[in-house]
Structure 1
Amino acid sequence: MFKTESENTVQRPQFNYGGQAVIEGVMMRGSQAMAVAVRNPAGEIIVHTEPLNPRIYRSRLARMPFVRGLTLLWDALGLGVKSLMFSAEVALEEEKEDKAQKVFEGPMQWGTVAVSLAFSILLFFVLPTFVARQGMTLIAAGAGESQLLENLLEGLIRLGLLVGYVWGIGLMQDIRRLYGYHGAEHKTINAYEAGAELTPESVARFPLEHPRCGTAFLLTVVVISILIYSLLPPLTLPVRVLSRIILLPVIAGISYEFLRFTAAHQDKRLVRWLTKPNLALQRLTTQEPDMEMLEVAIAAFERVLAFEGGTEVEEERGVVSETAVSPLSSD
């Protein structure tokens, strides 16, 4: 466990650590490694750690503004899918052999990412475009008479779909547990960045919200899309739909940089004001975690730091068991 230089806090090197809630667990990502910690039905915390691909995370593209967002987000989608599959294998006690893992590597893994991404684009970008155009025929008696109004209507529909989706799935008990692990991930990173001791009791005191959350990114994409699409001239419906897809990488890159900037300047009052909607939306995607959830999140985070040489994990704690499954990477 971490040792502090004073009773309360210690100065630590800062990096934009991130993570994701998975089935009965948490995935944490650092600058060089990722770790997935999952609690199995026997109550053990099973942790898998592996290095990140240096060709992605330490490449020139990963340092280029606007481009780095697309590169890192694409790989994050792959890591997220693989982590979910690993957590399902552990939490549901599927076969200990890595058959499921082998089936889900390579083309199958990235095929799933592509299908998920395509579904998201259709639901949150193409559908609002169609609905807004139909709405304009009723409101303005002409599809192209008010470009600004149509873009605002499209943005409101997109926002409504996003909020409705995260709220709706949050009504399911299993998803509420997932949201609890999401809260544990945030609290752990918040505690580390504040220099606090990483124990469940200490971490529990920290906020559920975090400015670099993926939920915040999605809301930022919605807002930035309204601004970018408003710069376009009136378009026919097919061209309008195509523009939404073509400009999505541009919007994602800008949104990533905005999120990165605001997360690094939370000491500024204006920045805190700008990020209030992002933090408010996270109340829908996080739940207060219990101590066992916090234990899992801390275990994953400690393994990342240990791999990167930032700390040592105490052996006598008796909470974490290493898994013997094959690496998640498909390289």
Structure 2
Amino acid sequence: MNIGGRALLNGIMFQSENYTVKARYDKEGNIFITEEQTPTILDNKFVSFMSSLPFLRGIVALFRILWSVRKIFIISFILVIPFTLLLQNYKVINDSNINELTIGVQYLYIVLIIIIFWGINRKYGKFHGAEHKVINTFKRYGKVELASAIKTTRISSRCGTNLVFIVVVLKLISLISGVNSPLVNLSIWLVAYEIFELQETKLAFLSKPFITIGEFLQKLLTTSEPTVYELKPAVEGINHLIKLERTNN
């Protein structure tokens, strides 16, 4: 059973092939759990086939990420259009400087990613650490109890931090070499995803340097050691998901 997750405000979300479970604290401090089936757009034969093919599976993974944050993505896209038109209207962007501005903005994006990760850690780091602990506990023991989760590491080789680090490294290489286009950006993502997936193969040594640094960044930037407060909804949430999968599939 493959289980992923991410930190929420006052809780954690876990997702398997068939279900999504959210375990959060309400205003009274009680844990409440919601569940829903995975949308058919993310779980069908075509998606399963694409996910089995190198490089194409990266497109599926990107689509899943965008789907999970689709509201934020749509709002951001809508806001970018009038801002870009405004800059063009006031001649801030023109044909002579558009390439330089585009590259400058992408360097800025990399800096923003670091700042955002730091901010996420302050707000969500303990829940993120709790998510990792319970998933690692399940992988090791096949079940999750609070006592065993407390003792388990919060660092995960499958964390998105590791993947983002690979993307950033490849992006910096492309910017330094002067190679930049939407197609190059997509290619960077696809190659980064394949490097990320190498850790599950005999070629894991090729991804090891990236994963090692990514795990260090997890410890430094994107996770914090959780307390029992963060671990309780994590344990209840993942056990609810495991029960759903084992009962209905």
TM range (shorter): 0.7 to 0.9
Q: Do residues 27 (structure 1) and 13 (structure 2) align?
A: yes
Q: Give the secondary structure class of the aligned counterpart of 1:26.
A: strand
* Paired position in structure 1 for 2:196: 259
Give how far 1:185 is off.
0.4
The one of 17, 30, 34 equivalent to 1:44 is 30
Question: Larger radius of gyration, structure 1 or 2?
Answer: 1
Q: How many residues align?
A: 226
Identify if the C-alpha distance between structure 1 residues 71 and 268 changes in structure 2 by more than 3 Å, giving closer, same or farther: closer
* Paired position in structure 2 for 1:247: 184
- TM-score normalised per structure 2: 0.76
Identify if the C-alpha distance between structure 1 residues 176 and 191 changes in structure 2 by more than 3 Å, giving closer, same or farther: same
Counterpart amino acid of residue 282 in structure 1: Q
More helix by share: 2
**1:35 touches 1:49 (CA, 8 Å); kept in 2?**
yes
The one of 160, 165, 168 equivalent to 1:222 is 168
Where do residues 220-299 of structure 1 align in structure 2 (5 Å cutoff)?
220-228=166-174, 240=180, 243=181, 245-262=182-199, 264-265=200-201, 271-283=207-219, 284-299=221-236
- TM-score normalised per structure 1: 0.59
Identity over aligned residues, as a percent? Answer: 23
Where do residues 17-166 of structure 1 align in structure 2 (5 Å cutoff)?
17-58=3-44, 59=47, 60-79=49-68, 81=69, 110-116=70-76, 129-130=103-104, 159-166=110-117
CA distance in 2, matches of 1:127, 1:305: 48
Structure 1 segments unaligned to the other structure (5+ residues): 1-13, 82-109, 133-153, 234-239, 312-331
Give how far 1:46 is off.
1.1
CA deviation string 1:235-264 (max 9, x = no partner): xxxxx4xx1x332222222222221222x2
Q: Give the secondary structure class of the aligned counterpart of 2:132.
A: helix
CA deviation string 1:136-185 (max 9, x = no partner): xxxxxxxxxxxxxxxxxx5xx76544334322x25xxxx62411100000
Give how far 1:62 is off.
2.9
Identify if the C-alpha distance between structure 1 residues 50 and 248 changes in structure 2 by more than 3 Å, giving closer, same or farther: same
Structure 2 segments unaligned to the other structure (5+ residues): 84-99
* Paired position in structure 1 for 2:150: 204
CA distance in 1, matches of 2:126, 2:77: 24
